[in-house]
Structure 1
Amino acid sequence: MNVTEMSYAQLEEQRKQIEDAMRNLDKTRKTDAKKAVRATAKEYGFTIEELFDLPVSPKSSGAGAKPKYRNPENQDETWSGRGRKPQWIKEAVENGADLSSFEI
């Protein structure tokens, strides 16, 4: 391929392809480097976080707050009392119901 004989559009396309290939290669090299560093750290009995004093993010328990209120018309609908009131609570309170009557 003789670049001196290529048109401007062809050169632009070639440059785009080269830049894309370089970005992909960088991603692959970065991933490989991370794997190698983690493997070496593990070999010595450490994690990356321990070696570089990085904060370890706490694992989520996955469970939300315990429900405090239950819809008597649909036992599957509950509310913890946090955040926005669900529609069934809003409607019941607007119709004169006392919030405490829904407590579990």
Structure 2
Amino acid sequence: MAVDIKSLNHTQLNDLINKAQVRQNELRKEKVVKLREKVNALLKAEGYTFEDIFGGGRGKAKRTTSPVAPKYRNPANPAQTWSGRGKRPHWFNDALKAGKKEKDLAI
């Protein structure tokens, strides 16, 4: 099917582009499904599972983080602490504006 794109107006051309992109995505998905079936068939024929070959998880490994010890303490309210990571708490900024230094707030 040959389309004379020179005879199309702006709207018709955008519509054609959108339809072509949709079809391109459909074809890619179909190809991925066929390839996945081939890989699974090959693994099964050899007596292996996907996890045997590529590992247990399919997603990214999640980082485990442990709590960080506090580095700074609010002198007005000792229950308020900050580890020095992330956004500065309001009490920390207020203390700096009041003339305190970071080392004055350190634990």
The TM-score with structure 2 as length reference comes to 0.45
The TM-score with structure 1 as length reference comes to 0.46
Going by fraction, where is strand more abundant, 1 or 2?
1
